[in-house]
A and B are shown apart, each in its own frame.
Chain A
Amino acid sequence: METTIWTDPIRVIADWLTQLLVGWGLPAGLVFFIINLLGVAVLATGAMLFVLFLIWYERKIVGRIQDRLGPNRIGPFGIFQSIADMLKIFTKEYITPLGADKVPYNLAPIMAVGGVLLIWAVIPFADRVYGVDLNVGVLYIIAVGAIGTLAIIMAGWSSNNKYALLGAFRSVALLISYEVPMVMALLVPVILSGSLGMNDIVRSQAIWYLFVAPIPALIFFLTSMAEVGRSPFDLIEAESEIVSGFNIEYSGLKFGMFYVAEFLHAFTISLLFATLFMGGWRGPGAEQFPLLGLIYFVIKTFFVYFVVILFRGSLPRFRTDQMMDLNWKILTPLALVSIMVIAVVEKALAGSSLVVRSASLLLANLVVALVALQFLRSSGKSQRELAESAGAQVVDTVSTREHTSI
């Protein structure tokens, strides 16, 4: 397979640039550095500019879900609405609250956006098109998630506002709780493919892991939506509740950066889900022509992003204690049990063909799901009986009091 720009675009462009710059007389080490820097800058800037499109996309779809049109004034179908909003927010005043801690206050929005941008470095967009194929890609993603969590603490504390502090601590408690089942669900693609590198995980998905291990896929989807702070888990920035949480003392583009970070994060988890569980760039002809792989990847990602937006537009918000219960009492034991079941089944059938293994893994997942549903149903029934007997006592006292008062 010869190396043309269609089969290996990044290598061809990098070689051409190297020749150009070495021809200008720069030393080879500096040329290497400059080419890397250029690649990084292109990816990061592309990601940030893409957010404008994402905001418009989401506003249109949420509008349609709510039976209205969404933005449609500025440009055809309102495409330039995001640019108008961006220009407006660029010219707003920064109001720094009294007594705010300057350095964490200004660092927090930068860290929030940076923590999401960094994930884009390891995602394989096509077979030979990615930032860097770290051999510990999956753990790297978890690590940069920690940076986003720190940004929230810094924002909440440095605002010198007790509501911001309360909001920040509640959100951080939620975020770290939901990280536990997320990391465990991430173990399953690693087990099934035998590597921590993202491109290896994509390459070994002859059958999508969504169909082989649906429970870890569902757990990863739900927990990463909670990590982003999207509805129905969006108590983190519920405008009507904790007075908008940790970003209340931010104005202008600093607030805009938190907003950008949230939208970009929602798209990034769709990218991750498509990579880890839906086969990423795989499809007919994708190994030969990376452009085809990119197209398949974009289609899969937008499908997942559409489902995320559907969740946001249709479901009411959870309470905090409901969210914590869901995480610790349902998702974490489910994740642990499904890891054990998948590990044992996968090893017990190690010698058989791919189809046999995948079918039995799917069956094992369905069995675990049925058992879990049975548990939930019986515990729900016992809780309802408890509530009904307590309610019946209240009704009795009320009715006796009615009699005596007459």
Chain B
Amino acid sequence: MLNDWLYVGLFFVVAAALPGIAIFLAGVLGPKKPNSLKNSIYECGIETVGETWVQFKAQYYIFALVFLIFDVETVFLFPWAVAFNILPLFAVLEGVLFILILLGGLIYAWRKGALEWV
């Protein structure tokens, strides 16, 4: 099994090297004429107004949180799904109970209005 992962590791290296080499090649081939106007930050063709950082809504954080909870839920569900064929009906109902509890959580978040994009 480690041989499989060796292939994956090599693929990581090659998949990073291929675009890297292409970008480096294009950097060598292209012109290099920086001037301060070209390098300035783009803001619809005018000078930048205010500092670069803006206040973000807390809504983004709540989406990331709900996503995290459901991600961990699917982590629990994957072994259950793999062993599905040899489990009795009782075990399947346990998994269904798991999903129902989290469906309840989703409905709570929905009713609270936490899933609105304001």
Contacts and interface: CB of A to CB of B under 8 A. Distances in A.
Interface string A152-191: 0000000011110110010001001101100110010011
Contacts of B52: 99, 160-162, 165
The secondary-structure label for the interface of chain B is helix
A146 B89 CA distance: 34
The secondary-structure label for the interface of chain A is helix
Interface string A330-364: 00110011011001101110000000000000000
Interface in A69-92: 89-92
Contacts of A315: none
Contact of A166 (B29, B31, B54): B54
30 contacts: A37-B14, A44-B11, A44-B14, A48-B18, A89-B26, A90-B29, A94-B30, A95-B34, A113-B15, A113-B18, A117-B18, A118-B15, A131-B7, A132-B8, A134-B5, A135-B1, A138-B78, A161-B43, A162-B43, A165-B54, A166-B54, A169-B56, A176-B63, A183-B70, A196-B78, A249-B41, A253-B26, A257-B22, A324-B115, A325-B117
Which of B5, B19, B102, B117 has the largest count of A CB atoms less than 10 A from its CB?
B19
Interface residues of A, number: 83
B82 A110 contact: no
A190 B82 contact: yes
A245 to B, nearest CB: 12
A243 interface: yes
A53 interface: no
B30 A90 contact: yes
B64 A44 contact: no
A268 to B, nearest CB: 13
A196 B86 CA distance: 15
Interface of A: 32-33, 36-37, 39-41, 43-45, 48, 89-99, 106, 109-111, 113-114, 117-118, 121, 131-135, 138-140, 160-163, 165-166, 169, 173, 176-177, 179-180, 183-184, 187, 190-191, 194-196, 243, 248-249, 252-254, 257, 320-321, 324-325, 328-329, 332-333, 336-337, 339-340, 343-344, 346-348
A194 B15 contact: no
A347 B86 CA distance: 10
Which of B4, B15, B89, B107 has the largest count of A CB atoms less than 10 A from its CB?
B15
Contacts, number: 211
A343 B96 contact: yes
B10 A40 contact: yes
Contacts of A169: 56, 60
Contacts of A111: 16
Interface in B15-70: 15-16, 18-20, 22-23, 25-27, 29-34, 36, 38-44, 48, 50, 52-54, 56, 60, 63-64, 66-67, 70
A117 B15 contact: yes
Interface residues of B, number: 73
A97 B18 contact: no
B100 to A, nearest CB: 7
Contact of B44 (A140, A243, A324): A243
A267 to B, nearest CB: 16
Interface of B: 1, 3-8, 10-12, 14-16, 18-20, 22-23, 25-27, 29-34, 36, 38-44, 48, 50, 52-54, 56, 60, 63-64, 66-67, 70-71, 74, 77-78, 81-87, 89, 92-93, 95-96, 99-100, 102-103, 106-107, 110, 115-117
Given A110-B23, A118-B12, A161 B42 contact: yes
Given A98-B41, A110-B19, A118-B11, A344 B96 contact: yes
Contact of A249 (B12, B22, B42, B50): B42
Contacts of B38: 95
A114 B103 CA distance: 35
Contact of B117 (A43, A48, A132, A320): A320
A117 B63 CA distance: 28
Given A184-B74, A249-B41, A333 B103 contact: yes
Given A48-B19, A131-B7, A343-B96, 10 more contacts: A36-B7, A93-B30, A95-B39, A98-B40, A117-B18, A162-B48, A180-B70, A191-B84, A257-B23, A329-B115
Contacts of B93: 344
A163 B96 CA distance: 44
A216 to B, nearest CB: 12
Contacts of A254: 23
A347 B15 contact: no
Contacts of B106: 328, 332-333, 336
B82 A196 contact: yes
Contact of A114 (B16, B33, B56): B16
Nearest to A41: B14
